[in-house]
Copies of this chain bind each other. A is one copy, B any other.
Amino acid sequence: MARTRTQVDRVFDALGDPTRRAILERMSKNPIRASQLVKPLGMTLAGVVQHLQVLEACGLIHSRKVGRVRTCRIEPKGLTLATQWLADRQAQWERRLDALADLLDDEDDASTSE
Q: Write the A81-94 contact mask toward B (1 if CB under 8 angstroms, else 0).
A: 01101111110111
Where the two chains meet, the residues of A that have a C-beta atom closer than 8 Å to any C-beta of B are 5, 8-9, 12-13, 15-18, 21, 24-25, 27-30, 74, 76, 79-80, 82-83, 85-90, 92-94, 96
A86 to B85 alpha-carbon distance, docked (Å)? 12
Q: How far is the CB of A26 from chain B (nearest CB, A)?
A: 10
**What are 17 sample pairs from A and B whose C-beta atoms fall under 8 A apart?**
A9-B18, A12-B15, A12-B18, A13-B16, A16-B16, A28-B88, A28-B90, A28-B92, A29-B96, A30-B96, A74-B93, A79-B86, A79-B89, A82-B82, A83-B83, A83-B86, A83-B87
Q: How far is the CB of A103 from chain B (nearest CB, A)?
A: 13
Q: Which of B15, B21, B79, B89 contacts A28 (CB 8 A)?
A: B89
In the complex, the answer to whether B24 meets A16 with C-beta atoms within 8 Å is: no
Please name all residues of chain B whose beta carbon is closer than 8 Å to the beta carbon of A28 when the two chains form the complex: 88-90, 92-93, 96
> Provided the pairs A12-B16, A12-B21, A16-B16 are in contact, do residues A90 and B96 lie with their beta carbons within 8 angstroms?
no
